[in-house]
A and B are shown apart, each in its own frame.
Chain A
């Protein structure tokens, strides 16, 4: 036991966490005694300090800091790659520096939180199935939809993209790993910490945080202690995001294989490059907004206290200066996935490759100029509305360039409508609808009319579910054979898609209608006139939830016993498909050389990269080819 506590791992993490609570208790009471505050023991104070510090103790215990502390204490550190690569499933529960292991850790943890967040959505729909009170009281309802949104945004969409990119991006650019593997591990481990903290808020006295995922001040300042769980958990999720983005940027800039110029990079790499720029620049703003709320809550600062000269609108400005770019953080990596899937499955080069790359950068730039369109009814100065309306309409242009380029990529392609392709094509149509309602919302008069109605709920779900979620599904199905070495069940994949596609629309399309008619969002009750539509929406949403269970079943069973996939089941040109499935522990025996563009499909004899040894044996290739057709 003592030996186990000395080794990095769960035992030590538990021991350190308990130690952390004790330290925070001592710190709180000690400081209060030193400044002679009465009473000396204050539960709220201990809890808030613990929320900030115990995660650090946990991370230390699990082993995120061991190497760095050895380095900082001036000892000679040798990296023997002992914590690189997974030899059994147990290694996925340890700190690991292998980008492939971290990628799978990211994906599994974020899907875990996706299912919990999805359950919250089911609960919301159960409550809204008919007017009046069904299952939960209004306060719990507020908590449920707040946690639904928070988990799906901060613990699912953002990190699952980081997970997919973690797995494939270093392979795609011909790098043996990420630039900072230990920082990568730390980024991952902060996520379960953040997610657990958000869920634990249900146990807090006064209930969970219930101010929505936007946590507007002064509501969030005056709310019960459950709100602090949000305020602090977001810091950890944000720090995780920033560290990963920094890691991606350094990896892409300094570790590309010879010949991999910027304009030979696959568009997924471009997409993550752009996203990472957004994260590094924008995410500190949400960190700051939550720091200010925390200071107001815990130490009596007056940032958002109008009685002492504070400014409530300032919260919204700072928050949306992050959270509008965050919309693109939640979409751009998906754009990259779609480009990969479409080119490979339509056997055509991506139409307008350079414009695709430049439009990503244009979205990054324009994304910073539109934040106040979330505040048209907030009472800010009227004149800001017009420029924000115009920039918001303009940002549809680079997005439109991408949509048209994808459609042109499909034009006269040899299209294989298998599961990843279905999700990709479904994405293009659904995201276009979400984009159009976005442009409608940019128009000040319409926005004022439908603010805080279900029209907004419909819009955000068309872009985040029909947009991000569809791209995530396309990516998961597309790279599943690479990550596991096995093929998923195509039939179940198609059933999953069609159920989701149909009932996604039945769920969210009517919300446009009832929204325009004035059904308010974030309220647990509504007028009787909306009863029929809400019942239809609720039933449809349960089928939508059921469809995700098919996905779960497909993934688990195929991972265990699916047919062997071979190294390159899609006949793709990009580098990650040229190594075995799953890839060797250090990716390559020697770094590949890149000799051409990534999407030269249909060009006879075109090669993207040359690897020293062909990683696949002829037998494996044969199995892959056989399992691909159906």
Chain B
């Protein structure tokens, strides 16, 4: 396969060393499309765990909720915290596009801290539930769904951390905000997914 490196017979000397710029055949940006497709995959992953929920709670009519009632009020406050982080995330994004450096920095830090608060409350709730995944299948479903969501909050926070580092190193601005926008889309997905998890697990 040495031949792979042989350039085309056409004069190549004066040519730039790099690929030709690809034709942009869609109005959608490739990074944004990539994260949207990834989110479809993620929704299906949650879908499989919701299938487990459906089979165990609805088809088998196992006892629900597991344990003696779930702390709905705490979870609702937590939902409000996570949703407000979506608002600050959007604010961060808009500020980046407008070039408002200060607002962008405050925004990303606030979003990150709200996400951490959510995670902290969630773990605290786990410790005080009075049941574990080993208790019953319903408990497994509870921990499976909320834990899967928690893992996604962690991934989202990691992405936000990367964006924050780049923001504070001055790498994000009106002309260079893809590294903030894409984690932002993922963060909105994590928040929206919590509404579904919260509704099915705590409310219904």
A residues neighboring B (CB under 8 Å): 71-76, 81, 85-89, 92, 100-101, 104, 174-177, 179-180, 242, 246-247, 249-250, 253-258, 260, 280-285, 287-289, 291-292, 295-296, 299-303, 305, 308-311, 313-314, 317-318, 321, 484-485, 559, 579-580, 582, 584-591, 613, 615-617
Contacts and interface: CB of A to CB of B under 8 A. Distances in A.
B34 interface: yes
Interface string B1-20: 11111111110100101111
A112 B30 CA distance: 33
Interface string B146-159: 00100000000000
A310 B30 contact: no
Contact of B34 (A179, A256, A585): A179
B61 to A, nearest CB: 10
Contacts of B33: 249-250, 253-254
What are the 6 A-B residue pairs with the smallest beta carbon separation, nearest first? A288-B48, A176-B19, A74-B169, A309-B137, A284-B45, A586-B19
Interface in B176-204: 179
Given A254-B22, A280-B40, 5 more contacts: A100-B4, A255-B22, A288-B52, A589-B10, A617-B9
B139 interface: yes
Contacts of A283: 41
A582 B51 contact: no
A559 B3 CA distance: 11
A484 B2 CA distance: 9
Interface stretch (B69-77, B91-99, B160-168): B160-168
B3 to A, nearest CB: 5
B3 A485 contact: yes
B45 A256 contact: no
Contacts of A305: 137
B48 A289 contact: yes
B125 interface: no
A326 to B, nearest CB: 14
28 contacts: A75-B169, A76-B171, A92-B1, A250-B34, A255-B22, A255-B24, A257-B23, A280-B40, A282-B44, A287-B48, A288-B45, A288-B52, A292-B49, A295-B144, A300-B133, A301-B143, A301-B144, A302-B136, A310-B140, A311-B60, A311-B137, A314-B56, A318-B48, A580-B6, A584-B7, A586-B19, A587-B20, A589-B20
A436 B28 CA distance: 42
Contacts of A287: 45, 48
Contact of A589 (B4, B15, B162): B15
- Among B1, B7, B20, B49, the one with the most A-chain Cβ atoms within 10 Å of its Cβ is B1
A292 B37 CA distance: 24
Contacts of A242: 38, 41
Given A74-B169, A285-B48, A589-B8, A176 B22 contact: yes
B135 to A, nearest CB: 8
- Among B25, B29, B171, the one with the most A-chain Cβ atoms within 10 Å of its Cβ is B25
Contacts of B1: 86, 89, 92, 104, 484, 559, 582
Nearest to B34: A250
Contacts of A292: 49, 52, 144
Contacts of B37: 246, 249-250, 280
B28 A310 contact: no
B35 to A, nearest CB: 9
Nearest to B141: A303
Contacts of B28: 253-254
Nearest to A73: B165
A292 B60 CA distance: 18
Contacts of B168: 74
B48 A321 contact: yes
A307 to B, nearest CB: 9
Contacts of B15: 589
B55 A255 contact: no
Contact of A590 (B20, B26, B38, B42): B20
B85 interface: no
Given A250-B33, A302-B134, A615-B9, A309 B48 contact: no
- Among A85, A253, A615, the one with the most B-chain Cβ atoms within 10 Å of its Cβ is A253
Contact of A285 (B17, B34, B47): B47
A254 B26 contact: yes
B88 interface: no
Contacts of A74: 165-166, 168-169, 171
Contacts of B2: 87-88
Given A86-B5, A309-B62, A310-B137, A256 B23 contact: yes
B52 A281 contact: no
A72 B172 CA distance: 12
Contacts of B10: 589, 613, 615
B187 to A, nearest CB: 16
A621 to B, nearest CB: 12
Contacts of A174: 23
B133 A85 contact: no
A17 to B, nearest CB: 23
B40 A591 contact: no
A314 B133 contact: no
B78 interface: no
B59 interface: yes
Nearest to B48: A288
B138 interface: yes
A313 B51 CA distance: 11
B19 A255 contact: no
Contacts of B40: 280-281
Contacts of B171: 74, 76
A318 to B, nearest CB: 5
Contacts of B4: 85-87, 100-101, 582, 585
Contacts of B137: 302-303, 305, 308-311
B17 A309 contact: no
Contacts of A73: 165
A295 B60 CA distance: 20
A613 B4 CA distance: 18
Contact of A584 (B8, B24, B41, B49): B8
B20 A585 contact: no
Contact of A302 (B41, B48, B55, B133): B133
Contacts of A587: 19-20
A311 B136 contact: no
Contacts of B166: 71-72, 74
A586 to B, nearest CB: 4
A144 B34 CA distance: 38
Contact of A301 (B23, B26, B45, B140): B140
Contact of B41 (A86, A281, A295): A281
A296 B140 CA distance: 9
A78 B165 CA distance: 18
B13 to A, nearest CB: 12
